[in-house]
Amino acid sequence: MCGIVGILGSKPVATDLVDALRRLEYRGYDSAGVATVENGHLERRRAEGKLRNLETRLLSEPLSGHTGIGHTRWATHGRPTERNAHPHMSAKVSVVHNGIIENFRELKTELTAKGHTFETDTDTEAVVHLVTDEMERGAGPIDAVKAALGKLKGAFALGIIFAGEDDLMIAARQGSPLAIGHGSGEMYLGSDAIALAPFTDAITYLEEGDWAVMRRAGVQVFDRAGQPVTRPLIKSVASSLLVDKGNHRHFMAKEIHEQPDVISHTLSNYLDMANARVNFPDLGIDLTKISRVTISACGTAYYAGLVGKYWIERYARVPVEIDVASEMRYREAPLPADGLAVFVSQSGETADTLATLRYAKANGQRIASIVNVRTSTIARESHAVLPTLAGPEIGVASTKAFTCQLAALACLAIAIGRARGAISQELEQELVTALVEVPRLISTVLRNEEQYIELAHGLSKARDVLYLGRGSSYPLALEGALKLKEISYIHAEGYAAGELKHGPIALIDEAVPVIVVAPEDDLLEKTVSNVQEVAARGGQIILISNANPETIGCALAAHIPTPKAHPLTNPLIYAIPVQLLAYHTAVFMGTDVDQPRNLAKSVTVE
Ligand code: F6R
């Protein structure tokens, strides 16, 4: 979280820094700031809240330096005030930072004892004083940073500029991604290539432990041991044109509506559509010998993984263990020989997912990652990468990445089942044909958006909302509740429908809408019994189902009709109504749909 940019430019850079920060706002938006070298000394402008506040500040107090760094923050240490906003600086050095300096308390004590005065509550300020301290003791900027890096513990990406140095910027990466952009007579630094897309597509990614000395004429990269290293220069495919709302009011709306297309792209990567077969990449493991599949991820990506568990167990007949990455990484779970571990992540940078991946790798698992950002750390550290072709997802609430993850997981389940003989050729054809139908079926759901706007008015008045589902619809209930709470701030919980009577039913009364995800499948009858239990207690039932509502046998507050689909593909179809309900409720309530409070898109802290 937190976005970093830096420019060694040929003209004043403040406007371009803010422009690049706008493309990084998905990483955090609590506060923002820029610092430049102004006639040899360092100056900065910072503002609490969204980037537009910083823009306003720069209009009244412009900066004209040609060398500068910028930052958009997701607060970890210290409240999101202007005082705690980056860049942090002394008279000699200015720093932007993404990540957490874990030993900052020790460093602060040490540096305070040496006479340094800390002005903020941030961990980042320790870096400023550490580098300043080295410089005050006679080190040049490069040696000072090198010495400081040796003392830092934790995960960080840093961009550093210096007073009196108009042609120098130092970048360092340990645990948080950093991209260096090569321009003509200009150099750029960014948390990702999208931030730099309007300036350059020539990108060098720093690797773990790397630090780089950047000048307008070029960059020299060093590894952790201080040895010069060559990192490849690649042509980035990130296009600034992709980061645009089109005709939609929010990125989230645009991304919901893109789903037929991006699911279709993702499926075509794993299916031979013409012959209704899976065409899955070699994972480098004999699928017939897999003893267990272990899946781990966070948030929405975890719910995609949970659907994957139902599919892999049902269709491929392989046991699946799944846990959220923040738990699995500390459980010291024994992992089997011949195990396949699957990590699901849109950003490919989620700290807990990455740590769990490393644990699984160290424990002999074959690692496959389902990621949306192919250049991400999770992708690079995996044995096999299964890309989702969702394109950049800017809305903080994940929508199209989720359904593309489901698409990739469904193909994985079929591929494993087919290889092991659990799926016959006929069944493979049936399942692949069902998947090919998904984009069309989703388009039919998207054509009926009016209904959601009406339902949103009612939901916006609720204090609590429950979501119920059974089987592979249970993760959809969890995802529906997460979507609603993260963008509308209404308290919502998802439950396995059968669990209702074991406690949550106590919450039901006339004021609690209960959203039931219930496709007409072999579990519908059981779910209907749970719906009746809710109705008997006055709960307001909103049924999302392709079943005839009259067969439910009780009064419904509303019915959201869905198209009939194959049981395999229902989770992909039912994702859309739960997304639309959350979206329209949030729009009706006037929340910041694309950048909900307290959240960030890429969670690179633990
Ligand atoms: C919710 C959401 C998050 C992410 C989670 C994992 O809408 O987007 O729950 O799914 O933070 O992020 P990635 O997929 O980037 O690992």
* E strand or H helix at 513: strand 513-517
- Per-residue pLDDT tens over the stretch 222-240: 999 999 999 999 888 765 4
What are the structure tokens assigned to 213, written together?
Answer: 């000395």
Q: For residue 244, which of 350, 103, 392 has the smallest C-alpha distance?
A: 392
pLDDT at 63: 97
- Per-residue pLDDT tens over the stretch 313-353: 999 999 999 999 999 999 999 999 999 999 999 999 999 99
pLDDT bucket at 30, cuts 50 / 70 / 90: confident
Query: Residue 88: which region, alpha, beta or left (left: phi > 0; alpha: psi -120 to 50)?
Result: beta
For ligand 1, the distance from its centroid to the CA atom of residue 248, given in whole angstroms, is 22
Mean pLDDT of 480-490: 97
Predicted confidence (pLDDT) at residue 386 exceeds the cutoff of 80 = yes
Question: In whole angstroms, what is the distance from residue 337 CA to residue 38 CA?
Answer: 59
| DSSP E strand stretches across 130-190 | 154-162, 165-174, 179-182, 187-190
- Per-residue pLDDT tens over the stretch 49-108: 989 999 999 999 999 999 999 999 887 777 888 999 999 999 999 999 998 898 999 999
Query: Residue 185: which region, alpha, beta or left (left: phi > 0; alpha: psi -120 to 50)?
Result: left
pLDDT above 90 covers a percentage of the chain that reads 78
- Asked about 404 being catalytic, the answer comes back as no
**To which residue do tokens 């959201």 refer?**
560
- CA nearest ligand 1 atom 9, residue: 299
Q: For residue 357, which of 93, 150, 366 has the smallest C-alpha distance?
A: 366
Question: In whole angstroms, what is the distance from residue 492 CA to residue 494 CA?
Answer: 7
Is residue 571 within 8 A of residue 307, CB to CB? The reply is yes
Is pTM beyond 0.85? Reply is no
Predicted confidence (pLDDT) at residue 599 exceeds the cutoff of 90 = no
Question: In whole angstroms, what is the distance from residue 118 CA to residue 108 CA?
Answer: 8
- CA nearest ligand 1 atom 7, residue: 397
For ligand 1, the distance from its centroid to the CA atom of residue 345, given in whole angstroms, is 7
pLDDT bucket at 531, cuts 50 / 70 / 90: confident
Question: In whole angstroms, what is the distance from residue 312 CA to residue 580 CA?
Answer: 28
Query: Dihedral sign, CA of 208, 214, 220, 225?
Result: negative
Beta carbons within 8 Å of 561's beta carbon, 6+ residues apart:
448, 545, 546
For the chain, first and last CA: distance in Å?
A: 10
Identify the DSSP state of 175.
B
pLDDT bucket at 273, cuts 50 / 70 / 90: confident
Mean pLDDT of 271-300: 94
- Per-residue pLDDT tens over the stretch 108-147: 999 999 999 999 989 999 999 999 999 999 999 999 999 9
- CA nearest ligand 1 atom 16, residue: 345
Predicted confidence (pLDDT) at residue 555 exceeds the cutoff of 90 = no
Q: For residue 153, which of 206, 111, 95, 102 has the smallest C-alpha distance?
A: 102
3-247 and 254-436 share one fold: no
pLDDT at 243: 64
- Asked about 2 being catalytic, the answer comes back as yes
CATH number of 3-247: 3.60.20.10
Is residue 213 within 8 A of residue 206, CB to CB? The reply is no
CATH number of 444-589: 3.40.50.10490
Strand partners, 278: 271
Question: In whole angstroms, what is the distance from residue 513 CA to residue 509 CA?
Answer: 9
Give the right CATH number for 254-436 from 3.30.590.10, 3.30.420.40, 3.40.50.10490, 3.20.20.80. 3.40.50.10490
Question: In whole angstroms, what is the distance from residue 511 CA to residue 463 CA?
Answer: 8
- CA nearest ligand 1 atom 10, residue: 300
Ligand 1 neighbour 301 (Cβ under 6 A): yes
Probe ligand 1: pick from 250, 342, 378, 398, max atoms within 8 Å of CB?
398
What SS3 state is found at 452? helix
For ligand 1, the distance from its centroid to the CA atom of residue 397, given in whole angstroms, is 8
- For residues 462, 537, 520, 322, the Cα torsion angle rounded to the nearest 10 degrees is 70
| DSSP E strand stretches across 175-266 | 179-182, 187-190, 202-205, 211-215, 218-222, 228-229, 234-235
φ and ψ of 365, to 5 deg: -85, 150
Predicted confidence (pLDDT) at residue 360 exceeds the cutoff of 60 = yes
- Per-residue pLDDT tens over the stretch 556-592: 999 999 999 999 999 999 999 999 999 999 999 999 8
pLDDT bucket at 158, cuts 50 / 70 / 90: very high
Is residue 417 within 8 A of residue 316, CB to CB? The reply is yes
pLDDT bucket at 605, cuts 50 / 70 / 90: low
What SS3 state is found at 235? strand
Question: In whole angstroms, what is the distance from residue 469 CA to residue 498 CA?
Answer: 8
Question: In whole angstroms, what is the distance from residue 343 CA to residue 66 CA?
Answer: 42
pLDDT at 239: 58
- Per-residue pLDDT tens over the stretch 245-265: 777 899 999 999 999 989 998
Beta carbons within 8 Å of 450's beta carbon, 6+ residues apart:
none
Ligand 1 neighbour 353 (Cβ under 6 A): yes
Domain boundaries, the chain: 3-247, 254-436, 444-589
The counts of H helices and E strands in the chain are 18, 27
For ligand 1, the distance from its centroid to the CA atom of residue 390, given in whole angstroms, is 14
pLDDT bucket at 195, cuts 50 / 70 / 90: confident
Is residue 295 within 8 A of residue 307, CB to CB? The reply is no
For ligand 1, the distance from its centroid to the CA atom of residue 301, given in whole angstroms, is 6
Question: In whole angstroms, what is the distance from residue 341 CA to residue 322 CA?
Answer: 10
What are the structure tokens assigned to 243, written together?
Answer: 């980061």
Is residue 120 within 8 A of residue 95, CB to CB? The reply is no
CA angle 114, 116, 121 (to 5 degrees): 130
Predicted confidence (pLDDT) at residue 306 exceeds the cutoff of 80 = yes
pLDDT above 70 covers a percentage of the chain that reads 98
CA angle 292, 296, 302 (to 5 degrees): 125
pLDDT at 241: 45
pLDDT at 25: 81
Q: What is the mean pLDDT of the chain?
A: 93
CA 182, distance to chain mean position in Å, is 26
Neighbouring CB atoms inside 10 A of 149's CB total: 21
Ligand 1 neighbour 132 (Cβ under 6 A): no
Q: How far is CA 49 from CA 54, 59, 81, 485, in A?
A: 8, 16, 8, 21
**To which residue do tokens 């069902």 refer?**
434
* E strand or H helix at 265: helix 259-270
Ligand 1 neighbour 94 (Cβ under 6 A): no
